[in-house]
Amino acid sequence: MSDQVTSPGTVTSYGVYRWYVLGVLMIVYAFSFMDRQIVSILLEDLRLEFDLSDTQLGLLSGIAFALFYATLGVPIARLADRSNRVRIVSIAITVWSAMTAVCGLAGSFWHLFLARIGVGVGEAGGGPPSHSLVSDYFDPTERSVAMSIYSMGPTVGTFIGLAAGGWVAQEYGWRWAFAVVGLPGILLAVLLYTTVKEPVRGALDNAVKPAQRLGFNATVRELVKNRLWLWNMLGHTSAIFVGYGFSSWKPALYLRQFDLSQAEVGTLIGTMALLVGVPGLLVGGLIGDRLIARSRKLAVRCIAYAQLLVVPLYVLGLMADGWLAATALLGLGLVFYQLGYGTSISIGLSAVNPHQRALAASFGFLIANLLGLGLGPLLVGAISDAAESSFGIRSLAFALGVCLIAMVISFVCYWIASNAIKDEGESAPAQ
Paired residues of 198 in beta bridges? 5
The set of residues, in sequence order, having a beta carbon less than 8 Å from that of 370 and lying 6+ positions away, is 66, 67, 70, 71
Q: How far is CA 176 from the centre of its chain?
A: 25
Radius of gyration, CA atoms only, the chain = 21
Q: How far is CA 323 from the centre of its chain?
A: 26
List the one residue out of 278, 336, 276 whose CA is nearest residue 304.
Answer: 336
Query: Rounded distance, CA 237 to CA 75, Å?
Result: 20
**Which architecture does CATH list for 17-203+216-419?**
Up-down Bundle (1.20)
- Judge contact between 291 and 331, C-beta under 8 A: no
How far out from the chain centre does Cα 335 lie?
15
> Is the Cβ–Cβ distance between 15 and 81 less than 8 Å?
no
Pick from 23-32, 121-130, 209-218: least confident = 209-218
Cα–Cα dist 318/355, whole Å: 44
Q: pLDDT exceeding 90 applies to what percent of the chain?
A: 28
By three-state DSSP, how is residue 110 classified?
Answer: helix
- Contact by Cβ (8 Å): 58, 372: no
pLDDT band at 362 (very low <50, low <70, confident <90, very high): confident
Instruction: For 309-323, give one letter per residue: b (16+ CB within 10 A) or e.
Output: bbbebbebbbebeeb
Q: How confident is the model at residue 352 (pLDDT cuts 50, 70, 90)?
A: confident
Report the 10 Å Cβ neighbour count for 193.
Answer: 18
pLDDT per residue as tens digits for the range 79-104: 877 788 999 999 999 999 999 999 99
pLDDT at residue 157, rounded to an integer: 86
Question: From CA 146, how far away is CA 393, in angstroms rounded?
Answer: 41
Q: Cα separation of 309 and 101, whole Å?
A: 38
Domain assignments of the chain as residue spans, ordered by start: 17-203+216-419
User: Which residue from 226, 296, 238 is spatially nearest to 412, judged by alpha carbons?
Assistant: 238
Measured N-to-C along each axis, helices 109-123 and 17-41 cross at an angle, to the nearest 10 degrees, of 170
d(CA 381, CA 78): 34
Per-residue pLDDT tens for 12-46? 467 889 899 999 999 999 998 888 878 888 888 88
- How big is the chain, counted in residues? 431
How many Å apart are CA 102 and CA 99, to the nearest integer?
Answer: 5
CB 378 within 8 A of CB 58: yes
Name the nearest CA neighbour of 339 among 422, 428, 414, 270: 414
Q: What is the DSSP annotation of 194-257?
A: HH-PBPPTTTT-TTS-TT----HHHHHHHHHH-HHHHHHHHHHHHHHHHHHHHHHHHHHHHHHH
Q: Helix or strand or coil: residue 385?
A: helix
- d(C-alpha 45, C-alpha 270), whole Å: 18
Average pLDDT of the chain to the nearest whole number = 83
- Listed ranges 27-36, 62-71, 200-209, 303-312; the one with the highest mean pLDDT: 303-312
Closest CA to 91 of 186, 166, 26: 186
Measured distance CA(3)–CA(367) in Å, rounded = 31
Least confidently predicted of 6-20, 116-130, 230-244: 6-20
**How many whole angstroms separate alpha carbon 213 and alpha carbon 192?**
28
